[in-house]
Amino acid sequence: MIRPEMRVNQLLDEHPELLGVLIEASPAFAKLKNPLLRRTMPRLVTLAQAARIGGLEPSALVERLNRALGVEASREEASVGHESKLGTPPPEWLASPLGFHLDVRPILAAGGEPFGAIMAAAREVAPGQRLCLEAPFEPLPLYRVMQRKGFVAWCEQEGPEHYRVHFLRRLEQGAEGRVARTLSEADWASYADEVWVEANLEPPLPMMRVLEALARLEPGQRLLVHHVRRPVHLLARLEQDGHPYALRELGPGRVELLIEKAS
């Protein structure tokens, strides 16, 4: 069953026949006919976000897509997803000191992945300070990740493809306290095990392989992962579970990830 939190690129990879359904639902999706835009723009966009960009109710779009696949989903089921912060009253903490300002729109426009930059920026924000994020859409899945790191969020829309999201790090650090540091260049010198992720592995097998290998290690030991791409969902899981890591991109199809098992 298709749900609002599903990424547009995942939808079109699994069901390319639904491209016509999207375009029929809103002319705003016609740009997805362009193969280049189809590879870049939808990478982080969920169906809920795409629906709002196209002027549609997320539940209505998801219901329409499921119906095209012959799957009946109730409105209640289709509306399950991440809660929007748009339209909510501005919080008092909006006047808190700015700790970091990050505009991810150029990164996304170039086909890049901004998750690492956002996580690095979050680490620079002290308790009681704000991270201000400029994005082309409301980053609903990011709210849950940041909440686990001790942040609360509020979002305002500045234009058709301009959203400003404010994240306040609460004075009580919460889950962020588990990620005390990132790994340094010297840490790459030693590791207890290695994992190779092949290009033909279907999700979620790459993540499962890495997490199983990490589970076999003792706290403080490190795992070196040879990957073919930047593993966005795995990085979010490592942040969630408090495992320090470092990543380096060696070239097309060559990414190395060093993970240290947390206590």
CATH code for position 198? 3.30.110.40
What pLDDT band is residue 215 in, cutting at 50, 70 and 90? very high
Q: Are residues 226 and 190 in the same domain?
A: yes
Given 141, 157, 176, the domain boundary residue is 176
Are residues 68 and 100 located together in one domain of the fold?
no
Do 198 and 156 fall within a single domain? no
The span from the first CA to the last CA of the chain, in angstroms, equals 37
Q: Tell me the per-residue pLDDT of 106-165, one tens digit each, with 9 for 90 and over.
A: 988 887 778 888 988 998 888 888 999 999 888 877 888 888 888 999 999 998 889 999
Judge whether residue 44 has pLDDT over 80. no
Is pLDDT at 29 greater than 50 in this prediction? yes
Residue 3 falls within a domain, yes or no?
Answer: no
Question: In the predicted model, what is the mean pLDDT of residues 32-49?
Answer: 66
End residue of a domain, out of 156, 176, 196 = 176
Instruction: Tell which wins on pLDDT, 46 or 175.
Output: 46
Per-residue pLDDT band for 172 (boundaries 50, 70, 90) equals low
Q: Is residue 108 a part of any domain in this protein?
A: yes
Residue 86 lies in a domain: no
Residue 83 belongs to a domain = no
Helix (H/G/I), strand (E/B), else coil: 116: helix
Is 1 a member of any domain? no
Q: What is the average pLDDT value for the chain, to the nearest integer?
A: 81
111 with 159, same domain: the answer is: yes
Asked, for residue 85, whether it belongs to a domain, the answer is no
**Cα separation of 224 and 259, whole Å?**
7
Distances (CA, A) of 53 to 14, 115, 126, 136, 201: 22, 21, 33, 10, 32
Closest CA to 137 of 8, 2, 35, 3: 8
254 falls within a domain: yes
Residues 170 and 99 placed together within one structural domain of the fold: yes
CATH number at residue 121: 3.40.50.150
> Which residue in 164, 154, 142, 134 sits closest to 91, CA to CA?
154
Res 173: pLDDT: 42
Same domain (yes/no): 116, 146:
yes
pLDDT at residue 155, as a whole number: 94
For residue 235, with 0-12 CB atoms within 10 Å meaning exposed, 13-18 middle and 19 or more buried, which class applies?
buried
Note whether 13 and 73 are same-domain residues: yes
Cα R_g (the chain), whole angstroms: 19
pLDDT tens-digit series, residues 53-99 = 777 777 778 888 888 888 754 444 444 445 788 888 898 888 888 98
DSSP 8-74: HHHHHHH-GGGHHHHHHH-GGGGGGGSHHHHHHGGGS-BHHHHHHHTT--HHHHHHHHHHHTT----
Backbone φ and ψ for 154, nearest 5 degrees, come out as -150, 145
Count Cβ neighbours within 10 Å for each residue of 184-205 and write b for 16 or more, e otherwise.
Answer: eeebeeebeeebebeeeeeeee
Q: Is residue 256 part of a domain?
A: yes
Domain enclosing residue 139, as ranges = 92-176
**What is the total count of domains within the chain?**
3
Burial of 16 (0-12, 13-18, 19+ CB in 10 A): exposed
